[in-house]
Amino acid sequence: MVIEAEPVAASAAPAAAPAPAAPPTQLDDVLVQAFRADAGYRVDHSSTATRTATALRDVPQSMQIVSRQLIEDQQIVRLTDVLQNVSSVQMNGTGGNRGETYQIRGFVTPRYAINGFQLTSAMDRPEAFVDLANVEQVEVLKGPSSVMFGISEPGGVINIVTRAPAAEFATDGALTVGSFGFRRVEASATDALNATGTLTGRVTGAWQGEDGFRDHAAHSRRSFGAAALRWQPDAATQVDLAVDHVDQSQPFDRGLIATDEGVYVHDARRYLGESWSITEARKSVASLLVQHALSEDVGLRLSARHSDALVQDSGAVDLQGIEADGRSVRRRITDRREDSADTNLRLDAIIDARTGSLQHRLLAGAEYSRARMDFASGRANIASLDMYVPVYGLALRPVTRANAQNRYDVEMLSSYLQDQMEFSAAWKALLSVRHDAVRSSLDDTFNGEYTRNKDDAVTARAGVVYQPRPWASWYASYSESFQPQSGQTRAGGALSPERGQQLEVGTRLDLVPDRLTLTSALFQITKQDVATEDPLDPDFSILTGEQRVRGWEVDASGRIAEGWTLSANLSLLDAEITRDNTYAPGNRLVGVPRHSGRVWLHHAFSGMLQGLSIGGGATRVGARSVDLDNRFDIDGYTTFDATAAYAFSPRLELSLRLANLTDRFHVEGVQASNNLYPGSPRAFSLQVRMQL
């Protein structure tokens, strides 16, 4: 039996301890398994969906994985570019250029997970951008996932798997320069740290700076560092310790703004802030993972994670609307400070058992998390800016009027049970249930108010898998999610959590065994208890809202022929309001395209041209509604990109990337009519990658 405790780097197998004579229990038999991407882009196993080492073909839920090989072949440094390789995932926004948020299957997912732990539940957005230097692969579990992750939106969860130590010495690094003053350097090294190889380590670092394609915006820079240790004192025990830190300074940027008639500047370079408008963030994370195999059939796993983050916005320019002349943008500046911390503890037991002819893999566990955020902000209005002929140079005025100061605390205690059943080689089933008790409080010192909320939720997941052939899996499943809400009713009562339910059927086919895989899914997600405005008093809410997304998606990845690799996806989504007091049923959800997709093809030459490789891709995103009133749509777009690389040796490669070849203006993220995030104009990057 193989049960993976937490995501482990796909390209680095666990360090092997010297094997004692006839060990009674092997850790790899009970808890740990590293999953390796093949020569294409396929990864066959993951622990994200079940917290056990499970073949993706045995999971009754759609899941896609973007491997490090694909990331390097596409020569990308943004998480947004990584996720273009996954169906039904769209960039939602950046929170003013702080960090990425996404939509999965039509629903905004403001948090993502790293190695199985979600970002702090006290924040509704990431504190900083993800640096890919320490990323092994990015996994997207589609649909409600509260059974595994607790508080979450019904669209799905993004899980980032970091690079792990390896026993053999290896280093790699890259130097990149590109358009708009882009400069980046990254490096990583791993090795055994003692003579017996029971202690291994990895260090990773990166620095990035750029002027950016937004005219008159501040320079941006980011530094990142990470270190990881792995200790295997015997064959049944493994301890992993990891720390990382990111420090970034970015121009605060709300993107573009549209008039009520849907008119906006079609120029990605047009910046509507000022050169002194910046956002800065520092974040540190430490994690511990202890795994021990009690026997061949029983394993224990203890996980812990703590993070601290500080985000400060200085002179952050918000876009408030358009003047009557149809061109002057009303603006406001905000000085904002968000100081947050998050602690998570998790204990799991994994048991293999048999009842008659039925094989069980049981997961039982408990999780405790506590998070807090101290928030303070002040605001001031500033002069408007002509969005067609901007005149910059406004002096930064001090913000003397506070508008908010509060502390938000949230505490969650959870327990869960899961049974993965195998009836025969062809039939498998999954049953999961989880209970979450959430206690939160908001101490609003600015308004002199203090509120407490208590939410208890039971969520479930059930699915069945049918595998008539070794290369074919068919599944059907039901899953649930929940998300606590702030606010209250007119009677003073707390709002119940939002609830999500999904029905899904799908298939996973190895079109070419061990080389090319296709997955497809049909689904319906319903989000209920959405808070809408109380028609008798707009200061309060009632729970009548309901939203629904129906969709079909298909993903393909792997090798289609010798030297040829493919990554492609397509999604069709019907995302609409089905019940609401404010917006008309049938209206489309914000920022959700009816159709989107991407195809990427890469070829590595052989023979006389060995060492040369080329790649090309196309991305299509349909029109998206700018608000729930559906006043107007933001245009759809198609962009093209290409790469070329030459490996002078197995340890030295020079590569070129051209993005947005046709220089197509496009809006990448749609949050609202005053938060339209443009994508980059045509750009190039030149990279030298080295290995030792």
For 82-143, the three-class secondary structure string (H helix, E strand, C coil) is HHCCCCCEEEEECCCCCCCEEEECCEEECCCEECCEECCCCCCCCCCCCCHHHEEEEEEEEC
d(CA 81, CA 73): 12
317-348 pLDDT, tens per residue? 999 999 999 999 999 999 999 999 999 999 99
CB-side neighbour CA atoms (13 Å) of 208: 26
| pLDDT number for residue 27 | 60
Asked if the model's pLDDT at residue 621 lies above 70, the reply is yes
Positive or negative, the CA dihedral 311, 312, 317, 321 is: positive
Taking alpha carbons only, the member of 685, 675, 681 closest to residue 97 is 675
Question: How high is the pLDDT of residue 610?
Answer: 95
Average pLDDT, the chain: 91
- State the pLDDT at residue 37: 47
Half-sphere exposure for 233 (CA within 13 Å, toward CB): 6
Other beta carbons within 10 Å of 623:
16
Q: Confidence class of residue 7 from pLDDT cuts 50, 70 and 90?
A: very low
pLDDT band at 1 (very low <50, low <70, confident <90, very high): very low
Beta bridge partners of 448: none
d(CA 238, CA 234): 8
What was the pLDDT predicted at 21? 40
Please report the domains of the chain, with CATH numbers, ordered by start residue.
27-691 (2.40.170.20)
Residues ≥6 apart with Cβ < 8 Å to 345: 302, 303, 304, 367, 368, 369
Does 22 score more than 50 pLDDT? no
What type of residue is 17?
A
- Tell me if 106 sits within 8 A of 573, measured CB to CB: yes
* Whether the Cβ atoms of residue 36 and residue 8 lie closer than 8 Å to each other: no
CA–CA separation, 402 and 376 (whole Å) = 8
pLDDT for position 33:
44
Of residues 460 and 452, the one with the higher pLDDT is 460
**At residue 58, what are phi and psi to the nearest 5 degrees?**
-95, 0
Instruction: Count CA atoms within 13 Å of residue 74 on its CB side.
Output: 30
Q: In whole angstroms, how large is the CA radius of gyration of the chain?
A: 25
Q: What is the C-alpha separation between 318 and 672, in angstroms, rounded? A: 12
Q: What is the DSSP string of 549-613?
A: EEEEEEEEEEEEETTEEEEEEEEEEEEEEEE-SSS-TTPBPBT--SEEEEEEEEEE--GGGTTEE
Nearest to 157 by CA among 110, 212, 202, 90: 110
Residue the block writes with tokens 């969860």: 157
Beta strand spans in 143-179 (E): 156-162, 170-178
Residue 238 phi, psi (nearest 5): -145, 135
Looking at residue 582, what is its pLDDT? 84
Residues 6+ apart with CB under 8 A from 188: 133, 134, 163, 171, 172, 173, 202, 203, 204, 205
pLDDT, one tens digit per residue, over 533-562 is 566 655 567 676 899 999 999 999 999 999
> Taking Cα atoms as reference points, which of 131, 98, 377, 91 lies closest to residue 250?
98
Residue 23 predicted with pLDDT over 60: no
pLDDT in the model for residue 17 = 37
Confidence band of 512 (pLDDT split at 50, 70, 90): confident
Q: What's the mean pLDDT in 491-509? A: 88
Give the pLDDT of residue 487: 64
Quote the tokens at residue 190: 């791993």
Q: What confidence score (pLDDT) does residue 47 get?
A: 87
55 pLDDT exceeds 70?
Answer: yes
Confidence of residue 493 (pLDDT cuts 50, 70, 90): low
Res 521: pLDDT? 98
pLDDT band of residue 34 (cuts 50, 70, 90) is very low
Residue 44's pLDDT is 85
Q: How far apart are CA 119 and CA 126, in angstroms?
A: 7
User: DSSP of 191-208, one letter per residue?
Assistant: EESSTTS-EEEEEEEEEE
Note the pLDDT of residue 668.
96
Nearest CA to 299 out of 289, 307, 309, 308 is that of 289
The token pair at 325 is: 């002349």
* Best CA proximity match to 269, nearest among 218, 220, 332, 212: 212
How far is Cα 126 from Cα 549, in angstroms, rounded to an integer? 25
pLDDT for residue 11? 39
Residue 125 has pLDDT above 90, yes or no: no
Please determine, for residue 36, whether its predicted confidence score (pLDDT) is greater than 50: no
pLDDT digits (tens, 9 = 90+) for 371-410: 999 999 999 999 999 999 999 999 998 888 888 899 999 9
Q: What is the 3-state secondary structure (H, E, C) of 356-409?
A: CCEEEEEEEEEEEEEEEEEEEEEEEEEEEEECCCCCCCCCCCCCCEEEEEEEEE
User: Could you give the percent of the chain with pLDDT greater than 90?
Assistant: 80
Tell whether the model's pLDDT for residue 79 goes beyond 90: yes
The position carrying tokens 């901007």 is 390
Cβ count near 378 (within 10 Å): 17
pLDDT at 38 over 70: no
* Average pLDDT for 278-305: 96
- State the pLDDT confidence band at 513, using cuts at 50, 70 and 90: confident
Q: What percent of the chain has pLDDT over 70?
A: 91
Strands (E), 235-277: 237-251
Question: How far apart, in whole angstroms, are the C-alpha atoms of residue 425 and residue 486?
Answer: 47
Q: Is the pLDDT of residue 651 over 50?
A: yes
Mean pLDDT value of segment 151-174: 95
Range with the lowest mean pLDDT among 109-113, 458-462, 515-519? Answer: 109-113
Neighbours of 326 (CB within 10 A): 12
Of 179, 217, 76, the residue nearest 663 (C-alpha): 179
* pLDDT for the residue 40: 64
